[in-house]
Amino acid sequence: MKKDWDFVQFKKEFYEFTGLDLDRYKDKQMERRIGQLVNREGYDGLHSFFKALKSSNELLHKFYNYLTINTSIFFRDTKIYDYLQNSAMVDLLNKFNRLKIWSMGCSHGEEPYTIALILDQLSSLHRAEITASDIDDKALEMAREARYNLNQLEKVPPELLKSAFEQKNGFYYLAPAYKKAVTFKKHNLLAPIYDNMPSMQMILCRNVFIYFKIDVQEWIVEEVSKKISPGGYLIIGCAEFINKPERYQLERVIPSIYKKLK
C-alpha cells in the first residue's frame, strides 16, 4: 500500500500550490495541530487533505484560520484605536495632504474598515487611500462583502453602529461609502513588498507576525518599515513586540505603535 505523505512532503506540496512556506511559521505545535484538523475533518491522511485543500476555498480558509486564528473584530484593542483616532491620525492629517494606509493580514476587513470609520469621524475619509491585504482568498471575499454579525461589532460605538451599518436578516452590512474606501488584494506577507509601491503613512500589521519564527518576524518588520514615510506609523498587535526598533528607524510611541523617524 502507498505510504501517506509525511509533513515535510505536505509542506513542500503546499508551498508549490499556494506560495506559502509553512516552515516560516513557528512549528512547535503546527504538525500536531494540522494532524488534529485532518482527523477532525475526516481525511485519512495528509495527501487526501491536500487534494481537498486544492479543490475547496472554504477548506483552505479553515486551514489559514488554523495557522493564525484569524478572528478579528472592529475596534479591536480600544486603547490602540483611541490613540489612532485622537493622536496618530490627527498628526498625519496635519502633516500630509493625502494618506496612504495599508492593513496587512486584514482578515475579513474589520481592521481596514475601522480605519475608514475613524477617518470619517475626523471628516477626512476622502483624503485617504486604504489598501488591505491577506493571503486568504475566502477572507478577502468576505471582506469585500462586508457583512458582519454582532459579535464582530461589539466594540463599535452604538451611534456609529446605527449610522454606518444596515441591519438585515440578522446581519449588519457596512454602508457603501466605507466599502468603497478600501481596496482589497491578495498579498503574502512572506513575499517581498513591491519595489514600485509608494510609501505609506501608516501600515497596520497586527496579530499576524506573532505566528512566524523570530528571524521571519524581523525580516517582515524590516521590509515593512522601509515602506513607511518619515513621520508615518507602524501598528502591530498587543501581543507583538519589536526588539530594538531603532534598527528600522522606528521609535516606540506607546506599546504597539511605532513612528518612523527618517
Q: Which of residues 136-155 bind ligand SAM (CB under 6 A)?
A: 136, 139
Q: Which is nearer to ligand SAM, 65 or 87 (CB)?
A: 65
Q: Which is nearer to ligand SAM, 71 or 95 (CB)?
A: 71
Q: Is residue 11 part of the contact set for ligand SAM (CB under 6 A)? A: no
**C-alpha span between 146 and 132 (Å, rounded):** 13
As a dihedral over the C-alpha atoms of residue 60, residue 64, residue 66, residue 68, rounded to 10 degrees, the angle is: 180
Give the number of residues written for the chain. 262
Q: Is residue 223 part of the contact set for ligand SAM (CB under 6 A)? A: no
Q: Which is nearer to ligand SAM, 111 or 120 (CB)?
A: 111
List strands edge to edge, sheet with 99-104: 182-186, 128-134, 99-104, 200-205, 228-236, 257-260, 250-254
Binding mask 50-89 for ligand SAM (x = CB under 6 A): --------------x--xxxx-x---x-------------
**Phi, psi angle pair for 247, to nearest 5°:** -60, -25
CA 77 to chain centre: 15
Q: Is residue 135 part of the contact set for ligand SAM (CB under 6 A)? A: yes
Minimum distance from CB of 120 to ligand SAM (Å)? 19
Q: Which of 107, 131, 217, 225 binds ligand SAM (CB under 6 A)?
A: 107
